Structure formats: C-alpha cells, structure tokens
Chain A
Amino acid sequence: MDVPLHRSLGLTDDEAADIVRILGREPNHLELAMYAVMWSEHCSYKSSRVHLKRLPTEAPWVLVGPGENAGVVDVGDDIAAAIRIESHNHPSAIEPYQGAATGVGGILRDIFTMGARPIALMDPLRFGPLDDARSRWILEGVVSGISGYGNSVGVPTVGGEVVCDETYAENPLVNVLCLGLLPTDRLVLGQASGVGNLAVLLGSATGRDGIGGVSVLASAGFGDEETEQAKRPSVQVGDPFEEKRLIEACLTLLNAKLVVGIQDLGGAGLTCATSETASRGGVGMDVDVSAVPLRERGMEPFETMTSESQERMLAIVTPDDLDAVLSICERWEVRATVIGRVTEGGRLRILDGFAGEVLADVPASSLHDAAPLYDRPLRRPDPVPAIPDHVDPVDPGGDLLAMLMDTTWVSSQYDHQLFLNTVEGPGGDAVVLRLKHPETGVETGRGLALTTDGNHRWCAVDPRGGTAMVVSEALLNLACVGARPVALVNCLNFGNPEHPEVMWQLSEAIDGMSAACLAFDTPVVGGNVSLYNESRGRDIDPTPVVGLLGVIDRLDKPPPGVVWSEGDEVVLIGPRTAALGASRWAALHHGDGRPVGSLPDLDLLLHGVVARTTRALVVDDLLGGIHDVADGGLAVTLGEMVARSGCGARLSGMTGFGELFAEGGSRVVAAVASANLEEVERRCVAAGVPLTVLGRAGGSRLVVDDLLDLEVSAVAAAWHGTLPEALAAGATH
C-alpha cells in the first residue's frame, strides 16, 4: 500500500487533519510540503515549547530574548551583543565536512540578520571514542569543515570543546555558537511591514540541496547504513566566499538603513523566511516562485520553496530604495532579485508570476502559530547503577595521564585571532575578547568573555542537577577570567522525544537550567533544541550545552591563565569533596564507560559566592594562575596546570584518591604568590568560602603525597600526545 503523501513528508495523520481544518479544504502538494517543513520538530519546537517557557528570559539589559534569530543584550558603551547557538548534528553525522561547514554558515546568518557583525565563533563538539576509526573520520571531517568555512568567511573561531565518548559514536554533536556586535541603535528585526514593500532575495541561486533537511534529517533518528547514505542529498553544501560577500553586502545595507527588515534563509528555506517575516509584521506576502534564481532546471515549486540552499537572505525594502539596494549588492557581487511583495491581510500566496497562477494560499501565521504543540508523556528512566561501597585506586597516576587531552590539534586549524580581539583564545577556562565598538572601532577598555560547557555523565545520572552543574561550571569559568555573566544560550541535545524517558530528561534539564540561571541572575536569551539524537533506537546521553557570555569591566591585562610558577602556593578554593558519583573516573572503573553513581550535591547559593569571590581575586590581580575543577576532577585540573606551565608541584593532605577524581562543583585551583596568600585567605574567610592550601608549585614532578608521583615531562607528553597520536592511526568512513 502506498504511504499517504503527508506521512512521507513527515506529518502525522492528526497534523494533516489540522491543515485541512485551517485551509477549509484539502491542501495541494506545495502547501503540504510547506506545512511539513514548518511543522517539523526542528522548526516548530513542537515537543519542547511547553517546557522551554519555564526558562527565565528577562533582565533589564536584555534587548531581544528567545524566539528571534538571536538573543541580544546591551553590553554598555552603546554596544549590543547578539548571540546564538545551534546544532548541526545530523548533517555532520552523514557528511562531516559540509555538515559542520554549513552549521557555521547558518549561525553567522542568524547573527548578521540582527544587524550585528559576527566577531567570534565557538564550536562545542562531541564524537565517539578516538579508538573508533569512523569516529576519527567524523572528527577530522568536522574540524576541516569548521576550519575551511570559518577561516575563509573571515570570522575567528575562538574556542569550543572536544569531548569523545561512546555515547556519541553514531550520533556526534556538532554545536556552534556565534557572537556578534552592533551599535545598539541599529537593531533590526526579521519582519516585513509596509504594504507594497518588496521582498528581495539575496545571495546564492536555489538548488535541490537540503530539500526537507529539517524534516528528513533533523527530526528523525538514524537507522541502518543504507538509509543514512540515502539521506546524504539532504545535506546542504556551503560556499564561504558567497557568505563573506553576503555579510559585507548586508551590513552595508543595514548601515545605510536601506532595509525595513531582513531574515536569513535557513531551515525550511524560503517557506520559513517569507512566512516568518510576514507573520511577525502582521502582514501577508505574495511570492513569485518563478522569479527565484535557480541552480538547476526543472525544479518544482515545492522544491524551490523548501530548498535549504545556503548563503541566502531575504531583505524587505521600500520600492524607493530598491535601486540603491541593487547597486550595493552589485558592488559586492551578490545576486539580488525581487521575489515578493508585502500585502494586506495575512495570506502567504505562492504565485507563478505576480499576475500568474496561485500555487499556494495559506495564512502566513498558521505555519508558525498553528504548529502543533505536544505535551508528550514523561517517564523517569531506571536509575543508573550505584558505585560499589568500597572502591580502590589502582593507579591514580595512570588514570590521570589517560584523561589528559590537549585540543590544540583542533584549535590550531581555526583562525582564532582575526579582528585583534583575542586576549585569551582556545584552551583557557573562558575566551576573553577585547570589546571595541563595532562601527567606530573605539576601544572601551572592557572585555567580553565566552565559555561553552556540557557534561553528559552528570546529566545522564541526574538531568536536573547535572544541568544546574553545567550552568554552574560555566559561571565559574567566567569567574576564572574575571567576568560576570550577562546572558546564557543553550543547545539542548537529546534523544527521541517520542521516548517518554527522553522527554523526562528534557523537562528535568530545563528545570535545572532554570534554577541555576535564577540563582545566578542570568537570563536565557536563546536556544536551540536538537532532538532525535539516537541511533538504532538508542538515545544519546542527555547533553544540554550552554554558552555563557560575560562582561569584564576593566580589561588591561590577560587573565591569570591555566598556569602556576615555581614557588606559588597552590590552593583549593571551595568546598572539598571525595564523592565519585557521575565522575569520569567512576564510569571508567565501575561503569564500563557508562555513567554510574549519584550526582554530588550542589549548593547554588554557595556556588554563587565562590564564583563572586574568585572573580574578585582575579580582577584584583591576586592570583598567578587559576583553573576550575570539572570533568576528571581535581586530578585533571592539576595535570593541565602542570602541562601548561611545565612546572611541577608538591601537594599533600588529601583524604584519599576520591578527592582527586570527584567532580563536585564550586571548586577552583589557584596559584598564589606567597606575598598574596594572607589577603586571599582573608577574603575567602570573609565570604564564607572554604580555602585549603594544597602545597607549593615547583620542581620537575607532580607529587600528591601517597597518591601519585609523575614526571612533568610525562604529564606534558600525555596531554600533548593524546589527540595527534590517536588521529595518526588514520580514519575510515
């Protein structure tokens, strides 16, 4: 029996019935295709919206909250920062280079759509284990895609994460964050207004690439090899040079105030851009599909309207400004074609020539507002196994060496210095950028800080507590560079929402994020939900990734950095803990690689105090080095400080090896010159923050009495060697 058309497009029977109700008639093929992409999980957030509204989104400095192309916050000196994070997980699993490259292209358009010049990209990446040849193929392809597109398009990639774990073996996570700056008074929104105004399509011609990307790729899980191969044509192909010209042309148009509204073409292509601009502006639009420049012959209107060809924008301009717009586009060699007209009423009509046949006629807002909303069933999954009561350290030194991984192999392939802003680049606790006015270039003497964080083990064990810990880690990372938080964006990477356990994880994670953001007075200004991260019916561990933007009020020196020097006192700031639940160590030794145990307690109030105290110590230049304690625990913190400074340390007083590998939050390791120790202690005592002197930096060994004793050179070699050595083994598709 033939599958009904709506089902092959990804719509359920109920959804198809809704469409009939909205139109008062049966939809034709084109209309059905338009609803299918707009009502896809990717575009409509139909499974997550009921939960997302529990996130705190307001603060006096928020100019644009969630729901627009990017969140925008006021960062002072008449400068606004636009920020967004997105996932390109599914395309990258199938075609790593193009999947990652077009992820970069898409997020850039979201940012300059707001009138902002993109100034920084970050890439939180998660792959399968390094000993798996296919995971290495994906990693190499994704990194080359980010490098190839990001470098060429001329936006620095200043940081990110690289995590390798078995949970991502068949479903890697390729998230990308972009930060842009704009003069506060230039903020533009993606909306159409003014009946009679023109919709001008800018950029690339439209081809058959990426048709149904949001519905076929992003809103379904992975099956067998053959179906995956068949999905490859749904991956778009990127052209960074086209995008670079598009950025310059659009920013020139915006500077000259020649556009009424502007919208990028991303998921769901023209259908989304035309209906979104029209419905936001409370108007309708006539679209002449025959006017759209095409890359190939014989394309059907439904293909043109749902293609996800890259490097395209839709500008709404007045007829009077059209010539000026076309001339700026010509200078930048950007194609510009009038394809639509703003109309009265709220209908989106697709026409074959403005005076020609009506091919589709739907209420523009119904593609968005009438999208289904699912409150899917939730079910708490079985708890993960507990850790045995008595666990023994076999070889803490060896465990530490096995956990170290320098990601320079990745970050050295990214231009991370362009625009002369990068004070602290990849590899630190947080990125630090100089804050210059985006138009005048005038330095403010202040800085911005950015970090992305995620931890699937914490969230698998307890999605609510784990997500709160992830937000807390991000806060502490900002504190380590002297920054206070101003805005959070999130990329919620979860499994199949039709599994009640996954919906429970999502709902819990949102509550955990909400609690932490409220505690830290940090608004959520945007997010992206990536569902159906599953393969052969197995969901990934829940992986909310957060991007946190901070402000540094005085930036006259680089942050202390992940180092210490000969003779520094090494201190632990924050509460001590030896609880191994949810830790990497426990997964390795007692979970066969899977998360085990229960999450360590997190006191959000105390955490906020630790972060504030740390920030003040950094700002007042009392520390010689600093690093937070997170994945891999204190051991990895110490190991990275040793590897990066080339200097050992002699430490003592641990209660046991548990203290080395516990991952409970609210802790940083700081290097303090002896002369400053008293003042640092005084401040911690005054704030009620525990401080423990662990020992002193120096020498050529890292010694933790009774627990480990390693040569500095061995620590450095393990740290530097992990990634290049694993990748030298080659990769296979």
Chain B
Amino acid sequence: MSARIGVVLFPGSNCELDVQEVARAAGQETTILWHGDRTVDGVDAVVIPGGFAHGDYLRPGAIARFSPVMTAIEEFAAAGGPVVGICNGFQVLTEAGLLPGALQKNRGLRFLCSTVEVRVESTNSVLTSGAESGTTLRLPVNHFEGNYTCSAETLAMLRSEDRVVLRYVDNPNGSMDDIAGICSRERNVVGLMPHPERASSSLLGSEDGLVLLQSLYRSISRSS
C-alpha cells in the first residue's frame, strides 16, 4: 500500500523527522516529498513541516514558494487535498498564496521558543475537526517570524468566514487578532505557528497536539 502523508522536505527544513515520527506512532504511513520533485502523486495529505526552508533567506518562505513541488501542492489543494503548514510551513503557504496574510517578526524582535495556550476557535477545518470548540490546548511555539498580519479586509473576511481556527490565549508574538492558525475557504488548507507534533507525549510535557493531528489523519480516511 502506498504511503499516505507526504512531508515536504526543502533544504533547511528540520521538523520533517518529528512529523513523521508522530504520524507513524499513530499508525499512519508517511513519505518525504522532495522540494525539487514536480509531483505529490500517491499521497493523501501534505504536511509542510517547520524549519528554515532555503535558510529563510530573503524572508521565510520567499524562496521555498518557487520550489517545483509547490506547484504540485497547489494543484493538490485545489482538488481538495488536505494541506497543513506548521510554523515555517505556514510561512511558506502564505508566501505561496495558498493562505492569506503574512508572518512578520515577533513583537519584541526576538526568537521565541516556549509553550503557550491556544484556543480552538473553529472546528471546521481538516486540522481541527476532531477538537472541541473553545478548548484550550498547550502547544509549543518556536519562531522568530510568527506575528500574523493581514489587511483589514482580509481580517474581516477571515472572521466572517470562520477561518481563524486557533487563537492565542495570551498573545506571545503580537499576532493580529491573536491569530495562531487559519484555514482556506474550502477548509482543507490550514496554517498554524504552534507545533502540534511537539505536543505528542506526556513525557515531553503535553499531548494536546494529538487531537489536531488525529483530525488530519481522519480527514484522509474520509476523503479517500
């Protein structure tokens, strides 16, 4: 049987092993999608993991969006395939135009690695469908450019279309409207700054990320 979850690997990505480890522990199959490949054939979901794709040179995601694999991911998303961008993956998705807005440098202009609380605002997305609305999750964040921003019109649209899926309880980076994660209009593309894969075991301090990842796994079995 072919692998199901494709984890994108750009030069400079670094969370690809972690995402795969957690998915495999949950019984999922995973495969690496190399940035230079032009296809995502054979996968049922795409995760763009955290890291520093192409060194984050110019600005995070700015070079990665031109990688050949991104064209295939755009087509995959347009066809309704689930696509999740975590941290640097979120930055790549906004640069690629698959999600609106941008991630700018944190308020305070320092890198931040910490565990924060986020609230599930909408359960209508491939990453949050299994969570309960209003639940608070403890998730690690690890970024310099996690400060979400967009135009007033875009913000109004995101709110009216219920596309803000996660909000910070105590905003750590200055994000507009406390936004920690958003989804596309069709709810199948989700970007978030926190790392659900890092909250996957009580030994590591939190298991709260599992409910999100399990939502993704279930969305695959539904769509296939």
- Closest chain A CB from B149 CB (angstroms): 22
Q: Which residues of B contact A239 (CB under 8 A)?
A: 55
Q: Given the known A-B contacts A244-B12, A333-B11, A413-B112, are A419 and B55 also in contact in the complex, defined by CB atoms under 8 Å?
A: no
Task: Check B14–A423 contact: CB distance below 8 A.
Answer: no
- Closest chain B CB from A243 CB (angstroms): 10
Interface residues of B in 13-48 (CB under 8 A from A): 14-15, 17-18, 21-22
Q: Is B200 on the interface with A (CB-CB < 8 A)?
A: yes
Which of B11, B17, B51 is packed against the most chain A CB atoms within 10 Å? B11
Closest to A409 in B: B110
Interface residues of B in 184-224 (CB under 8 A from A): 195, 197-198, 200-201, 203-205
Task: Check B18–A434 contact: CB distance below 8 A.
Answer: no
Interface residues of B in 107-127 (CB under 8 A from A): 110-114
Q: Which residues of A contact B12 (CB under 8 A)?
A: 152, 154, 241, 244-245
CA distance A418 to B52 in the complex (A): 13
Q: Is B142 on the interface with A (CB-CB < 8 A)?
A: yes
Task: Check A417–B201 contact: CB distance below 8 A.
Answer: no
Q: Which residues of A contact B203 (CB under 8 A)?
A: 423, 434, 555-558
Task: Check A420–B11 contact: CB distance below 8 A.
Answer: no
CA distance A441 to B112 in the complex (A): 27
Q: Given the known A-B contacts A434-B203, A441-B21, are A241 and B112 also in contact in the complex, defined by CB atoms under 8 Å?
A: no
Q: Is B57 on the interface with A (CB-CB < 8 A)?
A: yes
Contact with B along A16-30 (1 / 0, CB 8 A): 000000000000000
Q: Which residues of A contact B110 (CB under 8 A)?
A: 412-413
Closest to B201 in A: A420
Task: Check B55–A241 contact: CB distance below 8 A.
Answer: yes
Q: Given the known A-B contacts A151-B111, A420-B18, A420-B201, are A332 and B11 also in contact in the complex, defined by CB atoms under 8 Å?
A: yes
Q: Is B74 on the interface with A (CB-CB < 8 A)?
A: no
Task: Check A420–B113 contact: CB distance below 8 A.
Answer: no
Q: Which residues of B contact A555 (CB under 8 A)?
A: 203
Q: Which residues of A contact B162 (CB under 8 A)?
A: none
Closest to A556 in B: B203
Task: Check B114–A412 contact: CB distance below 8 A.
Answer: yes
Task: Check A244–B204 contact: CB distance below 8 A.
Answer: no
Task: Check A417–B198 contact: CB distance below 8 A.
Answer: yes
CA distance A417 to B115 in the complex (A): 10
Q: Is A240 on the interface with B (CB-CB < 8 A)?
A: yes
- The secondary structure that dominates the B interface is mixed
Q: Given the known A-B contacts A241-B12, A412-B114, are A417 and B56 also in contact in the complex, defined by CB atoms under 8 Å?
A: no
Q: Given the known A-B contacts A332-B11, A434-B203, are A419 and B54 also in contact in the complex, defined by CB atoms under 8 Å?
A: no
- Closest chain B CB from A356 CB (angstroms): 36
- Kindly identify which residue among A152, A417, A434 contacts B52, using a CB–CB cutoff of 8 Å: A152
- Kindly identify which residue among B111, B112, B198 contacts A420, using a CB–CB cutoff of 8 Å: B198
Q: Which residues of B contact A412 (CB under 8 A)?
A: 110-114
A-B contact count (CB 8 A): 82
Contact with B along A402-441 (1 / 0, CB 8 A): 0000000001111111111011000000000010000001
Q: Is B140 on the interface with A (CB-CB < 8 A)?
A: yes
Interface residues of A in 158-212 (CB under 8 A from B): none
Q: How many chain A residues touch B (Cβ–Cβ < 8 Å)?
A: 31
- Closest chain A CB from B129 CB (angstroms): 24
Q: Which residues of B contact A113 (CB under 8 A)?
A: none
Q: Which residues of A contact B198 (CB under 8 A)?
A: 417, 420
Q: Which residues of A contact B112 (CB under 8 A)?
A: 412-413
Closest to B109 in A: A144
Task: Check A418–B55 contact: CB distance below 8 A.
Answer: no
Task: Check A244–B14 contact: CB distance below 8 A.
Answer: yes
CA distance A332 to B112 in the complex (A): 29
Closest to A244 in B: B12
CA distance A333 to B15 in the complex (A): 20
Task: Check A152–B55 contact: CB distance below 8 A.
Answer: yes
Q: Which residues of B contact A147 (CB under 8 A)?
A: 111
CA distance A557 to B52 in the complex (A): 32
Q: Given the known A-B contacts A413-B111, A420-B197, are A441 and B14 also in contact in the complex, defined by CB atoms under 8 Å?
A: no
Closest to A416 in B: B113
- Kindly identify which residue among B14, B144, B201 contacts A154, using a CB–CB cutoff of 8 Å: B14
Task: Check A241–B11 contact: CB distance below 8 A.
Answer: yes
Interface residues of B in 82-139 (CB under 8 A from A): 110-114
Closest to B54 in A: A241
Q: Given the known A-B contacts A417-B198, A420-B197, are A241 and B111 also in contact in the complex, defined by CB atoms under 8 Å?
A: no
- Closest chain B CB from A415 CB (angstroms): 5
Task: Check A154–B52 contact: CB distance below 8 A.
Answer: yes
- Closest chain B CB from A693 CB (angstroms): 31
- Closest chain B CB from A253 CB (angstroms): 16
Closest to A147 in B: B111
Closest to B140 in A: A417
- Kindly identify which residue among B142, B200, B201 contacts A415, using a CB–CB cutoff of 8 Å: B142
CA distance A415 to B144 in the complex (A): 11
Interface residues of A in 521-553 (CB under 8 A from B): none
Task: Check B51–A154 contact: CB distance below 8 A.
Answer: yes
- Closest chain B CB from A195 CB (angstroms): 35
Which of A241, A244, A419, A420 is packed against the most chain B CB atoms within 10 Å? A420
CA distance A434 to B144 in the complex (A): 26
Q: Which residues of B contact A245 (CB under 8 A)?
A: 11-12
- Closest chain B CB from A267 CB (angstroms): 25
Q: Given the known A-B contacts A417-B142, A420-B198, are A241 and B204 also in contact in the complex, defined by CB atoms under 8 Å?
A: no
- Kindly identify which residue among B21, B52, B55, B113 contacts A413, using a CB–CB cutoff of 8 Å: B113
Closest to A152 in B: B52
Closest to B53 in A: A241
- Closest chain A CB from B130 CB (angstroms): 21
Task: Check A417–B55 contact: CB distance below 8 A.
Answer: no
Q: Which residues of A contact B14 (CB under 8 A)?
A: 154, 244, 418
Task: Check A420–B204 contact: CB distance below 8 A.
Answer: yes
Q: Given the known A-B contacts A417-B142, A420-B18, A555-B203, are A244 and B11 also in contact in the complex, defined by CB atoms under 8 Å?
A: yes
Contact with B along A264-276 (1 / 0, CB 8 A): 0000000000000
Task: Check A240–B111 contact: CB distance below 8 A.
Answer: no
Contact with B along A393-407 (1 / 0, CB 8 A): 000000000000000
Q: Which residues of B contact A414 (CB under 8 A)?
A: 111, 113
CA distance A556 to B204 in the complex (A): 11
Contact with B along A449-478 (1 / 0, CB 8 A): 000000000000000000000000000000
Task: Check A240–B55 contact: CB distance below 8 A.
Answer: yes
Closest to B195 in A: A417
Task: Check A420–B200 contact: CB distance below 8 A.
Answer: yes
- Closest chain A CB from B114 CB (angstroms): 5
Q: Given the known A-B contacts A413-B113, A434-B203, A557-B203, are A419 and B18 also in contact in the complex, defined by CB atoms under 8 Å?
A: yes
Task: Check B142–A422 contact: CB distance below 8 A.
Answer: no
CA distance A332 to B34 in the complex (A): 11
Task: Check B204–A418 contact: CB distance below 8 A.
Answer: no
Q: Which residues of A contact B195 (CB under 8 A)?
A: 417
Interface residues of A in 230-249 (CB under 8 A from B): 239-241, 244-245, 248
Q: Which residues of B contact A152 (CB under 8 A)?
A: 12, 52, 55-56
CA distance A441 to B55 in the complex (A): 25
Q: Which residues of B contact A415 (CB under 8 A)?
A: 111, 113, 142
Closest to B14 in A: A154
Q: Which residues of B contact A422 (CB under 8 A)?
A: 204
Q: Which residues of B contact A441 (CB under 8 A)?
A: 17, 21
Closest to B16 in A: A154
Q: Which residues of B contact A151 (CB under 8 A)?
A: 52, 111, 113, 142, 144
- Closest chain B CB from A112 CB (angstroms): 14
CA distance A18 to B112 in the complex (A): 54
- Closest chain A CB from B89 CB (angstroms): 14
- Can you identify 13 A-B contacts, CB atoms within 8 angstroms? A151-B113, A151-B142, A154-B52, A241-B12, A244-B52, A333-B11, A414-B111, A418-B14, A418-B18, A419-B17, A420-B201, A420-B204, A556-B203
Q: Can you add 19 more A-B contacts, CB < 8 Å, to A241-B54, A332-B11? A: A151-B111, A151-B113, A154-B12, A239-B55, A244-B14, A333-B11, A412-B111, A412-B114, A414-B111, A415-B142, A417-B195, A418-B15, A419-B18, A420-B21, A420-B198, A420-B201, A420-B204, A556-B203, A557-B203
Chain A to chain B: the 3 pairs with minimum beta-carbon distance, closest first: A241-B55, A154-B14, A152-B52
